[in-house]
Structure 1
Amino acid sequence: MSAPAESNTQARVQVSIDPSVKLTAENVIREVGLTPTVVINSLYRKIAATGKIPLDFSLTPDQMADLELQTAIQKIPVKKLRTKKESEDFFNDEE
Structure 2
Amino acid sequence: MQMKEGSKKKLNINIDRNLADETQSVLDELGLNQTTAIVMYFKQIVSKGKIPFAIELTDKQKASRELRKSIKDIPIEKLQTKKQIEEWVNDKSQDY
Q: TM-score range by the shorter chain?
A: 0.3 to 0.5
User: Looking at both structures, which has the greater relative contact order when contacts are Cα pairs under 8 Å and sequence separation is at least 6?
Assistant: 1
Instruction: Give the alignment's TM-score, normalised by structure 2.
Output: 0.47
Instruction: Give the alignment's TM-score, normalised by structure 1.
Output: 0.48
